[in-house]
Amino acid sequence: MRFRYAHAGHPDGGTAVELCLAQLAAQAADDSTQRRVNLGFVYLTEGLLAQAGTILALLKAHTGVSNWVGASAPAVCATGVEYVDEPALAILLGRFEPGSFNVFSGAQRPPARGTRTDRASSAAYTALVHADPHEPGLPGLIDDMAHKLDSGSLFGGLAGGREAPVTIADRLLRGGLSGVVFASDVPLVSRLAQGCHPLPDSRRRKVTGGRDNLITRLDDERAFDALLQDAGIVENVAAADAGERRREALAQLGALGRRGLLFVGIEPEPAGAGERLGRDDYLVRPVLAIDPSRGSVAVDAPVEPGRTMRFCVRDEAAARKDLTRICAEIREHLHEQSERQRREVAAKGAIYVSCVGRGTQLFGEQGEELRVIGQQLGDLPLVGFYGGGEISGRSLYGFTGVLTVFY
C-alpha cells in the first residue's frame, strides 16, 4: 500500500493546507493507498514560515495524525515538482506499525540503544533527522545521534533559508536536532548521490601539510603542483616558457573555479561499526582559492594532516549519472528483497533531501532532478526539501542528494 502525498503553492497557509487536504482525500478513495495513517512528514518554504504553527495545527486537526516531523527550507519538492522562491507546502502520510517509530527532539528522548519493541525488533535502529544549521558543534551532534542507533546510520538534512528556520517534531522547534527514530522492522533503503567525478588524472592523496582550511602539501609535494597533475595540466619547466605555461594552467583552473566546478572530496573519519552509505564515501567541499607562489590550496572546510582526499569536478553529467546510479541500486535492493521473501516487494513512499546548490543550478531546468528520479523509480509518492547540508550515515555532506525509500 502506497503512502499518500500532496503539495501546493499558495501565500496563504490555510489555503495551501486545504489544497493538500483535497489531494489527500482524492487518494484515500484509491484502494492502493494506505488507511489509518499515523505519521506525517511536512516541508514548507520560507514564504510560509510565519504561518508554520497554524499549518501544523490545521494538519493535525484535519488528518487526525498527531505525530509530524519536518522542516522549513529555501525550496521543497514532491513527486516530479520543485517549489523554489514561492510559498509552498509538501506533505507525505504513512502508516507504520505501533511502536515501530518514535518522534524525538530535545524535549522527547528516543528509545535507548538496545531497546526492543513488542515484536523483538531493535527500537532504535535508524532515524530521519532534521537539524538547525546554526546549532554549534553540529557535526558532533550528528555523530552522537548516530551512536545512539543500533545501525549507526542516519538520513536527513539541514533546515535553511534566509530567516531563522524551524524544524518540526510534533511541534515547532528552533535549534538542535529532531526527527523520528525507526525500528529495525521498518523496511527502508537509503542512498547518497555525490554528483561529482574525479579530475582526469586524479588519485587519492594524503594531506601532509596545512592548517585549518589551507592545504600546503599533498603526498609531501606542493598542493598546487598536485592539483595541476590531477587536472592533467603538466607544466613545462623550461625557463623560456615556464611563465606562459603557468599562466595557461592558472587560466584553466580559474575557469573551473569561476564556474563553481572545482571541489575536493575529503574522506570522512572512520565510521566504526556504523553503516557506510554509497560506494565512494567522501565529503565534497569547494576549492575557494589557489596560491601558485606558495603552492597552497584553500578549501571550504578544515582538513587535518593525515586525511585522504582527491580533487574532483561537479557538473550536470556527473550529477545525473550518480543520481541514476543510486536509483538503480534502490531498484536492485527491492528486487533482492523480493527474491529473498519470494513475494513482490514494492516501494511505498520516499523522502528526498538535496542541496540548495543542486536543483535548477545543477540540472538546468526546474524539476529536472525529480524527473530523473521519476524516470528511474516510477510515479513514487515522494516529498522532500533543498537545504544547506545533507545527512547520511553519520556525516554531514554538501552538494549531495539523499534518497530514502520505504517499502
- 344-396 pLDDT per residue, tens: 999 999 999 999 989 888 898 889 999 999 999 999 999 999 998 999 999 99
**Of 268, 296, 313, which marks where a domain is finished?**
313
Same domain for 231 and 364?
no
Which range marks the domain in which residue 304 is found?
Answer: 196-313
Same domain for 377 and 282?
no
Same domain for 262 and 354?
no
- Does residue 331 form part of some domain? no
Same domain for 36 and 176?
yes
Which is it for strands 395-397 and 390-393: parallel, antiparallel or unpaired?
antiparallel
> Which grid cell is 296?
597552497
Q: What is the mean pLDDT of residues 105-132?
A: 96
Same domain for 101 and 83?
yes
- Does residue 45 form part of some domain? yes
**Of 298, 313, 328, which marks where a domain is finished?**
313
- Does residue 298 form part of some domain? yes
Residues 6+ apart with CB under 8 A from 141: 131, 135, 176, 177
Same domain for 214 and 97?
no
The angle that helices 52-63 and 13-28 make with each other, rounded to 10 degrees, is 30
Same domain for 98 and 143?
yes
Same domain for 17 and 101?
yes
Residues 6+ apart with CB under 8 A from 79: 5, 370, 374, 379, 380, 381, 382, 383
User: Any bridge partners for residue 101, and if so which?
Assistant: 182
pLDDT at 241: 55
Q: How confident is the model at residue 313 (pLDDT cuts 50, 70, 90)?
A: confident
Residue 113, Cβ density class (10 Å: 0-12 exposed, 13-18 middle, ≥19 buried): middle
Nearest in space to 393 (alpha carbons), one of 139, 210, 197, 105: 139
The structure's pTM equals 0.88
Q: How confident is the model at residue 73 (pLDDT cuts 50, 70, 90)?
A: very high
CB 187 within 8 A of CB 307: no
**Of 313, 332, 362, which marks where a domain is finished?**
313
The angle that helices 223-230 and 242-258 make with each other, rounded to 10 degrees, is 80
CB 8 within 8 A of CB 16: yes
pLDDT at 244: 65
Same domain for 161 and 243?
no
- Does residue 327 form part of some domain? no
With DSSP H G I counted as helix, E B as strand and the rest as coil, what are the percentages for the chain, rounded to 5?
25, 35, 40
In whole angstroms, what is the distance from residue 384 CA to residue 332 CA? Answer: 23
Q: Is a pLDDT exceeding 70 seen at residue 51? A: yes
Residues 6+ apart with CB under 8 A from 227: 253, 290, 297, 311
Same domain for 350 and 232?
no
CB 37 within 8 A of CB 65: yes
- pLDDT for 14-37, tens place per residue? 999 999 999 999 998 898 999 999
Q: In a 3-state reduction of DSSP, which class is residue 228? A: helix
- Does residue 320 form part of some domain? no
> Which grid cell is 65?
495524525
- Does residue 79 form part of some domain? yes
Same domain for 90 and 20?
yes
Same domain for 289 and 254?
yes
- Does residue 339 form part of some domain? no
**Element holding 20 (H helix, E strand):** helix 13-28
pLDDT at 237: 42
pLDDT at 238: 42
The count of structural domains within the chain is 2
Q: In a 3-state reduction of DSSP, which class is residue 366? A: coil
DSSP letter for 203, please: -
Sheet with 390-393: strands ordered across: 101-104, 177-182, 126-131, 153-158, 390-393, 395-397
In whole angstroms, what is the distance from residue 343 CA to residue 329 CA? Answer: 19
Q: Which residue has the higher pLDDT, 240 or 78?
A: 78
- pLDDT for 252-296, tens place per residue? 676 665 555 788 989 876 543 333 333 456 788 889 999 988 999
